[in-house]
Amino acid sequence: MAKSMIIRARVDAIFAAKVEAWAEEKGFVTVSDYLRVLVEKDLASGGVIAERKPEPQAGLTDETTIVTGLMVARILSQVIGVDEAKKFEAWAREAATNHLQEELANRVH
């Protein structure tokens, strides 16, 4: 196993107190453990530290999603009627909203 190293960073007292409170709130024994986990997660996800470049296809994916949604709405309107299609769309929006809220709640914890 590699030898452990200490990394130091100067921060002001208010920021240090906030970080200590966040670490304690998340159940960490030390601030060092908390910060190590944060850095490891960031590196694994390609976040700020890893400076992952935006995926060039991301915009195309968004466009495809929107176009697909519009096409499905049009087909539904023709097949089951405009009123029924609007009811179905309202149901889908509510279901999607609930799903996203659950996903976000799980990421926060």
Write out pLDDT tens, residues 24-59.
999 999 989 888 888 888 887 777 665 656 566 656
The average confidence (pLDDT) of the chain is: 81
Residue 61: what pLDDT? Answer: 73
Mean pLDDT calculated for residue range 78-98: 88
Task: Flag whether the pTM goes above 0.85.
Answer: no
Kindly calculate the radius of gyration of the chain based on its CA atoms and give it in whole angstroms: 23
In the chain, helix, strand, coil percent, each to 5? 70, 0, 30
Cα separation, 47 vs 38, whole angstroms: 11
pLDDT at residue 36 in the model: 87
CA distance 57 to 54: 9
% of the chain with per-residue pLDDT over 90: 4
